[in-house]
Structure 1
Amino acid sequence: MSRVLFRTAALLCLALSLSACAKDRPGLVARGGPTSEVPYRLGPGDKLRITVFNQPTLSSTYAVDASGNVAMPLIGAVPAAQQSPAELKRVIEARLGKDYLREPNVSVEVEGYRPFFIFGEVNQAGQYPYVAGMTAEQAVAIAGGYTARARQDSVQLARRDDAGVARVRVPMTTVIRPGDTVFVHERWF
């Protein structure tokens, strides 16, 4: 009897130690939902429509590059990663107003979101264009549906925020955001 108790205790300790290694932050997903007050944070791969009013040579579509910058004429590389469009607008206005324009008026809009990624037990894992308001269930459908071995009640979602990357198990109704990584696990039985 003591041997069974020892094994059970050892398995429990192992499970607790493994769960402590994961950076689960359930609030992360709640903060990123469709009704969230948190502004969208820009990242590499986003395409932006930046309009500098009365300056057609500066107004164009710009991409956030791999290092998180937007390269603009006159002012060069502007850090955009982890900023909201409104924050980026203020930075661009400040840089243009410093040496080039008097009271610049800038507009920053997201024209195209960075892709999301889906892996695991789906028929066509990979990178896909983001669709606004998409749920985890819709992401699976975009990836060709489940394999025969897929767990279909939840997925693991990896999302980057200011604190790093968090991995959280979420229901299929969870809204996916640009840059998220969705992993569909294999079911046990």
Structure 2
Amino acid sequence: MSRIGKKPVELPSGVTASVSGQVVEVKGPKGVQTFTATDDVSITVEDSAVKVAPRGKSKRARQQWGMSRTVVANLVHGVQNTFKKELEIHGVGYRAAVQGKTLKLNLGYSHDVDFAIPEGISIVCAKPTEVVIEGHDKQQVGEVAAKIRDWRRPEPYKGKGIRYKGEFIFRKEGKKK
């Protein structure tokens, strides 16, 4: 049995959820978000809580059970608060700046990298070496952070590159004579 899936998702005051077929719609003070679940799970709203249950004993149904419950919990959190990812830029001359709806990155290439900020995401650069990504959709925030990080992943010898705040980079020893 899924320990995560068994727990119902509590709906705080100001947040409502409705289910039509396999589509869950969550409304809150920050907006509306939807999720379409697979046919392997059934979703119901009872007593200001959303309950997810598997429709069979198959392995796929049990996998979708916990995953669907977690996605619904993220929707409930997202319509009430924002999700946030913080990136740090390490390296001589590496920096970032927001200009309008574009994130400009200087990462040691012969050209600047222009990253178009998607709808629903806000990016703030308080310092040239720090990037804060915020949004109401957890999946989208994580995806944007991963795309920015992919432009220059941290390397193991000097640790230069873009990393998540608090991420540990295993350092290697260089060549010896």
TM-score normalised over the length of structure 2: 0.27
Q: Which has the larger radius of gyration?
A: 1
- Normalized per residue, the structure richer in strand is 2
- Normalized per residue, the structure richer in helix is 1
